[in-house]
Amino acid sequence: MSEAIANRYYPDEVSAPGETLRETLEERGMTQAELAVRMNRPEKTLSEIINGKAAVTPETAIQLELALGIPADFWLSRESRYRESLSRRQHEADLGAQAEWAAQFPTGKMIRYGWIDKQKNTSSEVRELLAFFNVASAEGWKELDTATRARFRQSKTFECDSAALAAWLQQGLREAASVRTEAFSGDAFRNCLMAIRHLTREKRPEVFVPRLQEACSRAGVAAVFIPELPRTRVSGATRWITPTKALIQLSLRYETNDHLWFTFFHEAGHILLHKKREIFLEADGGDSKDELEANRFAADMLIPPEEYKAFVKGGVKSKHQVREFATRIDIAEGIVVGRLQHDGAIPHDYFNGLKIRYRWDSTEGRKGG
């Protein structure tokens, strides 16, 4: 919710403009019947306005201005505030009825990450969630979520908390909205990826993350890092926000640099190789044609195929070999280890000390080394 709206004061009660009209007549010693004559309106209509049963229309406001010398915009403003107050009271009642919908979201984590603010009561929490998703009701969210899920291309069928997944994806959109990008260019993005490869050797997220984001934005891609929510099981997602702006969203689910960088280049593969209308979700690998293509794209971008083939031909026996090879092809050592483990060239418990581990800050959605 925007700060301007969140900080705006809304009084609990706003009296009807008819109350002010009644007080004005009493002060002037004027009866309703006399005012009705002056306005050339039925007394019944005037009574309904005074008792809040009928609204002050622009025509009535002008007549009151002429009959009482009180500007028409005063009456229209009072009427507008009163009707808004009635609507807000009804809305508050409706919010309470949507508590079950709100309960499905991991609000504790969302508050901890700073995505939403902690609220004092259920109605306020519902309103906060509606504002987070930019919808006016739970029903609106359900329709929007159904339409969005129809575009999902998952790495394979997997069970997850759909509400938590929706919140994670929404936060990605919210952060991407503030990322200014150039119009997307496939050639520019391919060149960007080649330039980004050397960043894998940088160990500090506070250094490589802004550089990666800046390079991607110049090619038309917003890259955002959003901490995983419980039971989402998603390491990355790719979608097009507009025809000229793509989004790569990473969760740092596996915490090591080989997984982080492979996921990034995998998502980049979806952007360059596959249809814009779909949303790709990555969870524990997959064997669909699109996923296999993205896997191959990432593997070949990170480690040139011929170089890799020659490296593993004679067998990998030591960390020194890995370090030497990684330096020669200008890639992080952990990425080489991850590839060797994935391909079965070394056991999964070999050389893990060459990988770099990351974590999300415990109080904010930020990465630490």
Are residue 199 and residue 309 in the same domain, yes or no?
yes
Whether residue 134 sits in one domain with residue 47: no
Instruction: Please report the pLDDT score of residue 14 as a whole number.
Output: 76
**Neighbouring-strand partners of residue 360:** 367
Identify whether residues 207 and 237 lie together within a single domain. yes
Task: Please identify, among 125, 145, 165, the residue that sits at the C-terminal boundary of a domain.
Answer: 145
Q: Are residues 239 and 294 in the same domain?
A: yes
Tell which of 80, 96, 112 closes a domain.
96
Could you tell me which residues come within 8 angstroms of residue 210 by beta carbon, excluding any fewer than 6 positions away? Answer: none
Q: Is residue 285 within 8 Å of 279, Cβ to Cβ?
A: no
pTM of the model: 0.79
Total structural domains in the chain? 3
Of 324, 343, 270, the closest CA to residue 301 belongs to 270
Are 134 and 176 in a shared domain?
no
76 & 178 share domain: no
Residue 12 lies in a domain: no
Q: Are residues 166 and 286 in the same domain?
A: yes
Domain presence at residue 250: yes
Does the residue 245 lie in any domain? Answer: yes
Q: How many CA atoms lie within 13 A of 278 on its CB side?
A: 16
Residue 5 belongs to a domain: no
> What is the pLDDT at residue 286?
63
Identify the domain containing residue 133 by its residue range: 98-145
The pLDDT assigned to 285 comes to: 59
Summary mean pLDDT of the chain:
89
- Asked if residue 310 belongs to a domain, the reply is yes
- Is 7 within the bounds of a domain? no
Task: Please check whether residue 10 lies inside any domain of the structure.
Answer: no
The model's pLDDT over 87-131, given as tens digits with 9 standing for 90+, comes to 878 777 778 788 999 999 999 999 999 999 999 988 889 999 999
pLDDT on residue 10: 47
Domain co-membership, 188 together with 334: yes
pLDDT of residue 13: 64
Q: Report yes or no on 3 lying in a domain.
A: no
**β-pairing, 279-282 with 152-154?**
parallel
Considering the domain architecture, whether residues 162 and 284 belong to the same structural domain is answered as: yes
3 phi, psi to nearest 5 deg: -60, -35
Residues 32 and 62 in one domain: yes
Regions of the chain with pLDDT less than 70:
1-13, 154-158, 284-286, 360-369
CATH number, domain of 72, equals: 1.10.260.40
Model pLDDT, residue 182: 97
Per residue in 147-163, pLDDT (tens digit) is 888 787 765 545 788 89
Residues 180 and 235 in one domain: yes
Residues 263, 352: one domain? yes
The pLDDT of residue 300: 97
